[in-house]
Amino acid sequence: MLVELCGGDWNSPPHSHPDHLAFRWRGRRRGAVYWIQFEAQLVLALVFTWSAAAKLFSPATFTTLKRSVAVLARVPGPWSSWAPHALVTAEAALAGGLLVPAAAKVSLALAILLLTVFTVVLRRAVSRAVPVPCGCFGPSNRPVGRVQLFRNAALLTIALSGLAAGMTAPPHGPVPVPVAGVALCLWAALTLAICFALWDEFAGLLAPAASGHR
């Protein structure tokens, strides 16, 4: 049974009065943008958590990251030692911020910024055909290519959609949500996060030629 999400009673019987119909439409719209933002926050929080954890708990992944940062981002020698640690810290902080309602919009904006930087760096590496793995979600020997660009584009789309939904949603008070809806969002977010984390492996299975160089 649906419950009121953002100011409209979805279960009330229909009436012909224009004001009532407009009220119900606003309620549906506000509920929709709420769920879009909520799902985007969950997906990105899980993705950044996975990425940070993979680097923190896998020495091989962190070694790959240090090599990738030095080569792909062209980080100068004095800065190359702390840059990987700063990246992991930023990912972990974003993962936490995305789960805090008061910091959700700022975290989404910062996620867009970080993903944009990742994408620009990857694009330059692909254009120069640099044979260096990404190591974003685990140890890898596969050089960066268009596969990683497609993954980042998908993540950017999710982040932009979530921020746009949050910015266009009318202000409202506390929003009661159905447990079933939250469970469905969690399941969908976990599924998407796994797909993003194993993106390279899936690409290698479906199109081995596309997972290498351009």
For 138: left if phi > 0, alpha if psi spans -120 to 50, otherwise beta; the answer is left
Identify the burial level of 96 via C-beta atoms within 10 angstroms of its C-beta, where 0-12 means exposed, 13-18 middle and 19 or more buried.
middle
User: CA–CA separation, 83 vs 13, rounded Å?
Assistant: 58
User: CA–CA separation, 13 vs 189, rounded Å?
Assistant: 33
Q: In the numeric block, which tokens belong to residue 152? A: 């980042």
Cβ(145)–Cβ(213) below 8 Å: yes
Cβ(27)–Cβ(3) below 8 Å: no
Instruction: Name the amino acid, one letter, at 39.
Output: E
User: CA–CA separation, 140 vs 143, rounded Å?
Assistant: 8
Instruction: Tell me phi and psi for residue 133, to 5 degrees.
Output: -70, 160
- Position 193 scores a pLDDT of 94
In angstroms, the first-to-last Cα distance of the chain is: 50
Query: pLDDT of 164-213, one tens digit each?
Result: 998 886 665 555 567 788 889 899 999 999 999 888 777 666 665 444 44
* Residue range(s) defining the domain that contains residue 101: 43-169+178-211
- Position 85 scores a pLDDT of 83
Establish if 207 belongs to a structural domain: yes
Query: pLDDT of 22-65, one tens digit each?
Result: 334 344 556 678 889 999 999 999 999 999 998 888 787 777 77
Establish if 9 belongs to a structural domain: no
Establish if 33 belongs to a structural domain: no
Mean pLDDT across the chain, nearest whole number?
A: 76
User: CA–CA separation, 152 vs 115, rounded Å?
Assistant: 7
Establish if 17 belongs to a structural domain: no
- pTM beyond 0.85: no
Q: In the numeric block, which tokens belong to residue 124? A: 């330059």
Query: pLDDT of 17-31, one tens digit each?
Result: 444 433 343 445 566
Q: In the numeric block, which tokens belong to residue 200? A: 């390279």
Establish if 6 belongs to a structural domain: no
Among 18-22, 63-67, 92-96, 106-110, which is the least confidently predicted range? 18-22
Which residues lie closer than 8 Å to 60 by C-beta, 6 or more apart?
Answer: 139
Domain tally, the chain: 1
Establish if 28 belongs to a structural domain: no
What number of residues does the chain have? 214
Establish if 2 belongs to a structural domain: no
Establish if 22 belongs to a structural domain: no
